[in-house]
A and B are shown apart, each in its own frame.
Chain A
């Protein structure tokens, strides 16, 4: 049981490049989330999904896109990378948000935009 798996773990991008951060979970969770974590800033919600085919914006969605074609996968797309997108990105999933709000996080993807 792998939990939440994120790839890649590290990536350096040039300004203007695009890339996709992959996230997969094997717990059959309906709810999935993408957060970014900047030093001293806590976790900010980018996008979330309550089930396959359903996505919605979080607090900081600009510059990102998501899709949810299956229950297992929730990729995050960065278009036209900017230095402000240098951050650590965490994917998380939840079986039922009403159950203590427990989110299961991946280990993070560390992105640097130069």
Chain B
């Protein structure tokens, strides 16, 4: 079983739709949860960060962490064509917090059609 599982998609939605992206994980030691966005032929860039359980909102983006279910989500409201990208979840545990080593999901490719 992979430490982090993410549905690779692709996911295609119309402009304005609400998008839900999800990851599950198996390591209960994970404490830091991140979402990176990667445009085609570019490097990933940090989009959202959450420590432990709970919700975090930033504009049209909401990140949720449910540690009891080992499940994290990223919601995108009013999706725009500019949101078309690959979204990678990433996480790390207390033991790796001093090295910055992240475990990444496989990435979900999202296309928002005008």
Residues in chain A within 8 A of chain B (CB atoms): 4, 31, 33, 35, 40-45, 48, 50, 56, 58, 90, 92, 94, 97-98, 100-103, 105-108
Nearest CB on A from B12, distance (A):
17
Closest 7 CB pairs of A and B: A97-B100, A105-B43, A100-B49, A43-B104, A42-B104, A42-B106, A102-B46
Inter-chain contact B46/A100, CB cutoff 8 Å: yes
Point out residues on B near A: beta carbons under 8 Å. 4, 6, 8, 32, 34, 41-46, 49, 51, 88, 90, 92, 96-102, 104-107
| 16 additional contacts (CB under 8 A) given A43-B104, A90-B44 | A31-B100, A40-B107, A43-B90, A45-B102, A48-B99, A48-B100, A58-B101, A97-B96, A98-B98, A100-B34, A101-B90, A101-B92, A101-B102, A102-B34, A102-B46, A108-B42
Using CB atoms, name the residue of chain A closest to B6. A42
CB B5 to nearest CB in A, in angstroms, measures: 10
Check if B100 sits within 8 Å of A103, measured CB to CB.
yes
Let me know if B43 and A106 touch, CB within 8 A.
yes
Closest-by-CB residue of A relative to B34 is A101
In the assembly, what is the distance between CA of A23 and CA of B73, in Å?
A: 32
Contact residue among B34, B41, B46, B97 (Cβ-Cβ distance under 8 Å from A108): B41
Q: CA separation between A56 and B100, bound complex, in Å?
A: 12
Tell me if B100 and A33 are in contact (CB < 8 A): yes
Give the docked Cα–Cα distance between A35 and B34 (Å): 17
**CB <8 Å contact, B43 and A90:** yes
Cβ–Cβ < 8 Å partners of A31 in chain B: 99-100
- In Å, the complex CA distance between A8 and B90 comes to 27
B80 to chain A, nearest CB (A): 23
Question: In whole Å, how far is A24's beta carbon from the nearest beta carbon of chain B?
Answer: 14
Q: How far is the CA of A107 from the CA of B40 in the complex (A)?
A: 10
Asked, given contacts A33-B100, A43-B104, A50-B99, whether A100 binds B41 with beta carbons under 8 Å apart, the answer is: no
Contact B102 A42 (CB under 8 A): no
A-B residue pairs in contact (CB < 8 Å), sample of 10:
A33-B100, A33-B101, A40-B8, A42-B105, A48-B101, A101-B92, A102-B49, A103-B44, A105-B45, A108-B43
